[in-house]
Structure 1
Amino acid sequence: MLDEHSALSDWLAYLETKHPKAIELGLERVAKVKQRLGLNPTFPVIVVGGTNGKGSVCAMLESMLHAAGYRVGCYTSPHLLDYNERVRIGQRQASDAVLCAAFERVEQARAVPPLQNMDASLQGNDELSEISLTYFEFGTLAAMQCFIDQAVEVAILEVGLGGRLDAVNVFDHDCAVVTSIDLDHMEYLGDTREHIAYEKAGIFRVGKVAVFGDMDVPITIRAQAQHVGAQLWCLGEQFSFTAGAQQWNYHGVSGTRSALPYPALRGAFQLHNASAALAALDALKNKLPVSMAAVRRGLVEVVLPGRFQVVPGRPMLILDVAHNPQAARSLARNLADLPPCHKTFAVFAMLKDKDMASVARALKGQVDVWLVAGIAASRGATAAELSRVLYAERVKSAVLTFVTVTDALQHACNEAVENDRIIAFGSFYTVAEVMRAQSALRFDLRGDT
């Protein structure tokens, strides 16, 4: 039996064995364990869902609230290099010891109580039976246990998949944010934008503000807000932004925040994400007031690796976890906005259950050489599978295949000259492997983000 003194790696391996499916949406099991644990946070909670931009909104909220002096808990997923990235307290990753103690609490609550310690009248009671949890469900409960144990003053929770049936939705919250809606995870959420929006809107709560961070509002977003009785604030309606050459202005229900610095996170959609984050702060201004100084500092200091992350040096290296059509289109726009370069090398690897063709289609106009690699995971596409997708999309650029992402990156480093650029994208796995390869290659990938 594992306990709080066990290594974090042992716990993570153990969690992968506790449920027959990696993903099983539904709240019944996780709600029962939550009840056994008595996880009822007394601090404000913000839940962030959406197809793309969730991580950016969480990072901006965390940065601004931290700058305002609050002790902030932030739960995001997946991680790039270390599980500890998922649980941050005071802008620091939770330690192995804190995580292991929380995992033990969850394990004790979900497991069958020892018969010798059980009242005979209760034996056979379903309420005392063992409850199976997925890796993500276990981690979600443990994150909230950490936040309560560490006495945070506000928690930010990123939805893992969908919203309505995601484990994060077991917790009531004070404000919900849905960043954007596009086609992804269709095997779980539906095959149209409206169906997916319905699932995302499942995090809305009666009487609470629900922020939607895109001006193209699906009908089901409005319908669910009305059905639940949530206060829907949409970009372009209840809040908006105007962009200038050096600064930008946010306009919300509480007034205007003028002359704001551009977020440190790069990309064309970051003002959409920043505006959604500021709308959430507007919704919670009575509980969590945030000054203009804290907003400005938070925007300037926000960090989020792997989202159009430009690694310093020549040739330019760009890391982006873009793995669905909307994210790929955004990456393509961001690349088009950069100064022209001599040649662009793409280190490209994806999961085979993603829309590989649409991602390739979105980027093919920005790539001169495709360096295609496989991902060593059960869901990973092989280099041969990705190559067939590229040829089917009639890419005109050269396509080279490699066994691993590291091999592809090494080739790019050998071939690229100072005025070239290298982009690594397609999956969290892709970016994570590039980051792990830093010691062998000439890029310092843990440097300035």
Structure 2
Amino acid sequence: MMHFDSLQGWLSWQESLHPLAIDLGLERAAHIYRALNPDAIKPPTITVAGTNGKGSCVAFLEAIYTAAGYRVGSYTSPHIQKYNERIKINGVPVSDALICEAFARIEAVRKDISLSYFEFGTLAALDIFWRSDVDIQLLEVGMGGRLDAVNIIDADVALVSSIHIDHVDWLGTTRETIGYEKAGIFRKNTPAIIGDLDPPDALRQSAIDKQALLYCMGKDFTYQKQQSSWDWSAGEQSLTQLPEPGLKGEHQYRNASSVIMAVQQLNSRVLVTETAIRSGLKNVSLPGRFQRIDLADNTPLLLDVGHNPEAVTTLTDHLNAAYPNRRVHAVFSMMKDKDIASVLKIMAPAIHAWYFVPLTNPRAISTVAVQEFFSQCQIANVSFDYTAFAGAFAAAKKQCRKNDLLLVFGSFFLVSDCLNELEGK
């Protein structure tokens, strides 16, 4: 039986333990979850799936339930700077020691069952939340839904934020097949909330087939923007003059609306006041989503982890609305399994100059491969002269004139490099 004294020791070992980085299926994790805590009573649970918006929805839920005075466990992935960000209680990442203790307990009951890195993390989060006696747990699906390790838990409310094409090697190449996978988190007689304005039929039909209690954005609940506030309504229920969401972008009104619907559905078990909803909406924060930092020389820096066509469409909308007529210098990188050509085409009209960063991650796109994409898209104003983030960032910053915007977008790993660089300074 393996045992390590440091969190990094555990994580390095986990990365080498399982033959596949991604191995969808519930049997292994479910077996170990039962062995870990056979008497565990599951806290009220909201599970969130979706292509984009999952992290934002969990952040809104966490802020609202914390404002309501509850002890809130939230599990998200991936992390940006530290692994501990994945497992939080009341918005605070748990300690290395707590995670290491959970890993040791998992290892003690694992025997010959091989677990992926993600399964280890999911089981650790569930174990920590149960032992910490949380009032509610918020679980973000890693990929898909039906076969994701998070789905070993029966959600009391299931929320699907949006359906777009991503992770095609595992989830399929159409919105219908992807919708079917995401619908795997729905349960009988349990609220199933869909935040996508145009959901694939497979998503809705799965909810109906499972006899879930289906609520669709635009049909069963909706929102209306006012000049400096917004209104939410669902049938007879309504909340008016809500504060603008603390997370920026038009899509955050949709995410916030879905979250309010989820909170209302669970209200009989975990009561939340309108005051807590208002406070949570206003005070929510989430690194790497339209995150603005004003640098020492007053150059505005925008960070965004958008890495698929839909996510960067919302990014260009935000750039046009919040930073109109500004020259944008983009420091950029992505993983090679993403739709890079579409991302470049969507972003090209908004970007004045590009600075590509090769990442050390084995899934990252190489300089040679990305040059081909830029060439296909006929984008010429791009520099490939850098071996690491610091060089590209310094060059982009040097080219910024007054009123220009510095943008770092694409991979989570790139945004992580940026935040680490800024903290180092």
Question: Shared fold by TM > 0.5?
Answer: yes
Question: Match for 1:29: what amino acid?
Answer: R
Residues 1:79 and 2:61 aligned together: no
Decide which of 146, 168, 187 is 1:164's aligned counterpart: 146
Question: Match for 2:104: what amino acid?
Answer: E
Shift in Å, 1:252: 1.9
TM-score, normalisation: structure 2: 0.97
Q: Distance in 1 between matches of 2:17 and 2:109?
A: 14
Residues 1:179 and 2:151 aligned together: no
Please identify, of 416-425 and 53-62, the stretch whose mean Cα deviation from structure 2 is larger. 416-425
Query: Equivalent residue for 1:447?
Result: none
Query: Equivalent residue for 1:115?
Result: none
Q: Distance in 2 between matches of 1:87 and 1:385?
A: 35
Greater radius of gyration (CA):
1
Query: Equivalent residue for 2:18?
Result: 19
Query: Equivalent residue for 2:228?
Result: 246
Q: Distance in 1 between matches of 2:42 and 2:151?
A: 16
CA RMSD in angstroms comes to 1.4
Residues 1:318 and 2:317 aligned together: no
Q: Deviations over 1:100-154 (max 9, x none)?
A: 111111111112xxxxxxxxxxxxxxxxxx1100000011001000001111000
Residues 1:346 and 2:330 aligned together: yes
Q: Distance in 2 between matches of 1:231 and 1:288?
A: 18
Question: Match for 1:12: what amino acid?
Answer: L
**Partners of 1:193 and 1:218 within 8 A in 2:** yes
Query: Equivalent residue for 1:135?
Result: 117
Question: Match for 2:91: what amino acid?
Answer: Q
Residues 1:332 and 2:312 aligned together: no
Q: Distance in 2 between matches of 1:16 and 1:258?
A: 48
**Partners of 1:341 and 1:420 within 8 A in 2:** no
Question: Match for 1:194: what amino acid?
Answer: E
Decide which of 356, 365, 370 is 1:372's aligned counterpart: 356
**Partners of 2:155 and 2:186 within 8 A in 1:** no
Question: Match for 1:68: what amino acid?
Answer: A
Change (3 A) 1:304 1:254: farther
Question: Match for 2:409: what amino acid?
Answer: F
Q: Give SS of 1:327's match.
A: helix
Q: Deviations over 1:347-391 (max 9, x none)?
A: 010111111111111101100001011111111112232222112
Change (3 A) 1:439 1:93: closer
Shift in Å, 1:253: 4.4
**Partners of 2:326 and 2:403 within 8 A in 1:** yes
Shift in Å, 1:17: 2.0
Query: Equivalent residue for 1:430?
Result: 414
Q: Distance in 1 between matches of 2:91 and 2:107?
A: 26
Q: Distance in 1 between matches of 2:236 and 2:383?
A: 52
Q: Give SS of 1:16's match.
A: helix
Q: Give SS of 1:10's match.
A: helix
Shift in Å, 1:405: 2.2
**Partners of 1:45 and 1:174 within 8 A in 2:** yes
Change (3 A) 1:365 1:392: same
**Partners of 1:310 and 1:316 within 8 A in 2:** yes
**Partners of 1:316 and 1:422 within 8 A in 2:** yes
Change (3 A) 1:254 1:157: farther
Q: Give SS of 1:211's match.
A: strand
Decide which of 241, 252, 260 is 1:270's aligned counterpart: 252
Change (3 A) 1:245 1:175: same
Decide which of 274, 281, 296 is 1:292's aligned counterpart: 274
Please identify, of 55-64 and 293-302, the stretch whose mean Cα deviation from structure 2 is larger. 293-302
Q: Distance in 2 between matches of 1:172 and 1:37?
A: 17
1:14-413 pair list within 5 angstroms = 14-38=13-37, 40-111=40-111, 130-253=112-235, 255-313=237-295, 314-395=298-379, 397-413=381-397
Shift in Å, 1:399: 4.1
Shift in Å, 1:90: 1.8
**Partners of 2:358 and 2:365 within 8 A in 1:** yes
Q: Distance in 2 between matches of 1:270 and 1:401?
A: 36
Shift in Å, 1:18: 1.9
Structure 2, unaligned stretches of length 5 or more?
Answer: none
**Partners of 2:247 and 2:286 within 8 A in 1:** yes
Shift in Å, 1:37: 1.2
Q: Deviations over 1:315-363 (max 9, x none)?
A: 2110000111111111111111123344210101011111111111110
**Partners of 1:140 and 1:168 within 8 A in 2:** yes
Change (3 A) 1:29 1:140: same
Shift in Å, 1:38: 2.6
Shift in Å, 1:42: 3.1
Shift in Å, 1:84: 0.5
Q: Deviations over 1:235-271 (max 9, x none)?
A: 0011100001100011124600111001111112000
TM-score, normalisation: structure 1: 0.92
Shift in Å, 1:417: 2.1
Q: Deviations over 1:169-208 (max 9, x none)?
A: 0011100000000000000000001110000011000000
Query: Equivalent residue for 1:126?
Result: none
Please identify, of 243-252 and 31-40, the stretch whose mean Cα deviation from structure 2 is larger. 31-40
Residues 1:417 and 2:398 aligned together: no
Q: Deviations over 1:50-94 (max 9, x none)?
A: 000000000000000000011000000000010000000122110
Q: Give SS of 1:17's match.
A: helix
Please identify, of 136-145 and 307-316, the stretch whose mean Cα deviation from structure 2 is larger. 307-316
Runs of 4+ in 1 over 4 A off after TM superposition: none
**Partners of 2:359 and 2:414 within 8 A in 1:** yes
Change (3 A) 1:398 1:33: closer
**Partners of 2:175 and 2:200 within 8 A in 1:** yes
**Partners of 1:384 and 1:401 within 8 A in 2:** no
Change (3 A) 1:209 1:367: same
